[in-house]
Structure 1
Amino acid sequence: MASLTPTPASPSKPTSSEDIVAQKYDRCLADLLVKSGIGFSVGVVASVILFRRRAWPIALSTGFGAGAAYADCDRSFNPARIAGVRVLQQPPQESK
């Protein structure tokens, strides 16, 4: 039976930047689908149980899920936006 896990890239072959960006976009899309789906599910349950079948809890919780996924994706592409992280400049190196 074949394994479904991807094989790691060989250490001698560097990963191209296009592949890294594509992996980040794939992760972001998967995260968006999962978090929006969970938000939608929570909204449906809340709508049926608490709010007499109104539509706004579904839209609100789906939006919360999409917003959380967007924030995670933004941190993935721009790590300087992570709270508590500072970007410092390197001191100039002396040439010999």
Structure 2
Amino acid sequence: MNATVNATGAASRSREADGMAVASFVLGLIGLLLFNVVLGPLALALGALALVRGTARRGRALLGLALGAADLVVLAVTIAHSHGVLWQIG
């Protein structure tokens, strides 16, 4: 019975890691257009966690890491180009 519980736990953990890899990819992709200050670091964290937990979707996790980093680069370029002012009201 203990082996069954361990196998079920490992399968559940693998599915969680796969979900994190996909979420990292999706958040990184959306972050290129919207809320990159929040979604970029979140994509980086989820991608790294997915890799640490041994995801079967390693490519998605790596793409999530790359897109999360690209989100932060876009943010830095936007801030540098606008001299620190991102939004203007009025």
TM score, norm. by length of structure 2: 0.41
Q: Which has the higher contact order (CA 8 A, sep 6+)?
A: 2
TM score, norm. by length of structure 1: 0.39
Give the number of the structure whose residues are more often helix, by fraction.
2
